[in-house]
Amino acid sequence: MIKDKNVLLNQLALSYSPLCNRDFTQLRGDLDIRTAIEKSSIYVIAQRPVLRFDNLRPNYDDGSLEFEIRQEDNPNVLKCRMPMFQEVLGTDPSRGIDIYGGSNGGPKKPLTIGTFPAHNLHGFKILDVDPDDETQKRFLIWFTPEKLLQNWWNDLVEVDIEGDFRAFTKYKVHYVGKATEQEIWQRLTGHSKLQDILSLENPLCYGSLPTHEIAILTFMFQENMFVRTLGEPSADGDLSNWYLGKDLPEQRTIYLDAEKALIHAMQPAYNEELFKNYPKSTDGLHKHNLDMVNYTLTDPITLVYEKGEIRGGLSPWGGDAIRVTNNTKAEFIKFDNSQ
């Protein structure tokens, strides 16, 4: 007799671009950001050298904004050209725009002809200017290097980028957490492990502050794909329950299991419970007795841990996978074609 096969394929995606601790602290009250990450129930506290914009200047010949993305202690450079007038930016060719830029720890100031090319910017914002009254300005959009890259690979903004962008999306993992009982911004308010990391971790680069290097990555499920192969004979009720979703795990349960899978795979230094017996658990997917569970990242980021790395990918199947087979064995599967 051929038994039923129950498979659950899970794709984890960033719900928002990675935010350094300073930006997260300042922006967690922003309604747009809260809306973007409200579906996230998993977060990673990680560290990377600070990214910046350099050589930022307008190109008046083709109406673009040209700049470079650089990172401390990273020899790679990304050369970027972004059309200044495009729908996603909210810009209008019949109106004027102002560009404000700033560095970590300082206010954003207007960039003018005399200040171009601008260097060492950790963020810039674009404002709409009323052509009839230049004192009337309206905020349109802002970018950090990480926000621009994440918007670009998700086709949310038009940018031409030359260079190895994956060299800028590597994150050293310190902690993996869940927020299934409260929102992530509430969970991270006064978070003891975050405070420990900020206090105890040394900067990766000379002169940097931990609050600028420590980053918060928030994840949601882009897809939970359930695949069932029915054996023979199979009761009609089994098939009906499957199509009606009666036999499927709750989303909260999948999040709880995903947190355990990530911690089990990476053994982050600041997690006290390392789930070495995973996939066994009382609140995860173990009780559902699935034949296979698969977790993969669908963003081109790399999570670096002591013994290796998990490399996400832009392919339809994501990148590297954490896979549980027969409800007993968890293994790490490298995806050679990840982008």
Give residue 165's pLDDT.
Answer: 98
From 142, 167, 192, the end of a domain falls on 167
Residue 243 lies in a domain: yes
Same domain, 24 and 92: no
Side-chain half-sphere exposure of 206, counting CA atoms within 13 A: 0
Same domain, 103 and 226: no
Q: What is the pLDDT of residues 107-127, one digit of tens each?
A: 778 887 778 899 999 999 999
57 vs 63: CA distance, rounded Å:
11
Same domain, 44 and 175: yes
From 131, 152, 167, the end of a domain falls on 167
pTM to 2 decimals?
Answer: 0.92
Residue 152 lies in a domain: yes
Same domain, 17 and 58: no
Show the domain range for 108: 51-167
Same domain, 231 and 121: no
206 vs 73: CA distance, rounded Å:
9
Same domain, 217 and 304: yes
Q: What is the pLDDT of residues 300-324, one digit of tens each?
A: 999 999 999 999 998 878 899 999 9
Q: Are 82 and 162 in contact (CB under 8 A)?
A: no
Q: How many domains does the chain have?
A: 2
Same domain, 189 and 209: yes
Q: Which residues contact 168 (CB under 8 A, 6 or more apart)?
A: 51, 69, 71, 74, 76, 78, 145, 149
Same domain, 225 and 329: yes
